[in-house]
Chain A
């Protein structure tokens, strides 16, 4: 079974600064996918970024980027130029290749962006 661990229950960052959220996972699979989801107070889950394990290049989406270390089973999310709208719960998630849409989520990190 796969497990996903987010060791930072809460974090805060000043507006316009950079913050990094940590995620580690445990799997014996070689082909898999990793995701970061954002859940604002409205509770609507939104995909932030995803990474295919076979790709060595780290994914980026505008202000969001990841540091994917496959050997270390680490998948951190960096948010640059933090904005007030980034305030949310952030969940790291994992799924095996060819497993359909079945996500294993970490416990989440509550991020507060302060003005």
Chain B
């Protein structure tokens, strides 16, 4: 089975621009979660989608948004980029709605640099 894939792997943007990151979960998985990893703030939960519905949301401003498609692929969008949005963005998928009883499989991440 193919693992979680994230595209693109690297991105360079300038302040004020917007960006869209994509995550394709493992085939059959319905839950996709997104995390931001920075040296200063560590790993922080952004949001989780399950069956096209946002199930959980972290404490991030409205500039961060996401969605999930019927094939479970998910996108996250960051508008009006700020320097502090530079980070590694990780997504994770899991198989069912049993939550943490199911292992979350992480993708390799998208590294975003905002100049």
Q: Which residues of A contact B (CB under 8 A)?
A: 33, 35, 42-47, 50, 91, 95, 97-108
Given the known interface contacts A100-B50, A101-B92, A101-B94, the answer about A44 and B99 at a Cβ–Cβ threshold of 8 Å is: no
Contacting B104 at CB < 8 Å: which of A42, A44, A47, A108? A47
Q: Which residues of A contact B104 (CB under 8 A)?
A: 47, 101, 103
Q: Main SS of the interface on chain B?
A: strand
Q: Which residues of B contact A108 (CB under 8 A)?
A: 42-43
Chain A's nearest CB lies how many Å from the CB of B73?
Answer: 16
Chain A's nearest CB lies how many Å from the CB of B44?
Answer: 8
Q: Which residues of B contact A (CB under 8 A)?
A: 31, 33, 35, 42-45, 48, 50, 55-56, 58, 88, 90, 92, 94, 97, 99-101, 103-104, 106-109
Q: Which residues of B contact A35 (CB under 8 A)?
A: 100
Considering the chains assembled together, what is the distance between the CA atoms of A43 and B42 in angstroms? 13
Considering the chains assembled together, what is the distance between the CA atoms of A50 and B43 in angstroms? 18
Q: Are B109 and A102 in contact (CB under 8 A)?
A: no
Considering the chains assembled together, what is the distance between the CA atoms of A50 and B101 in angstroms? 9
Q: Which residues of B contact A105 (CB under 8 A)?
A: 35, 42-44
Q: Are B56 and A99 in contact (CB under 8 A)?
A: yes
Considering the chains assembled together, what is the distance between the CA atoms of A45 and B109 in angstroms? 9
Contacting B45 at CB < 8 Å: which of A50, A104, A106? A104
Q: Are B99 and A95 in contact (CB under 8 A)?
A: yes
Considering the chains assembled together, what is the distance between the CA atoms of A106 and B58 in angstroms? 16
Considering the chains assembled together, what is the distance between the CA atoms of A33 and B104 in angstroms? 13
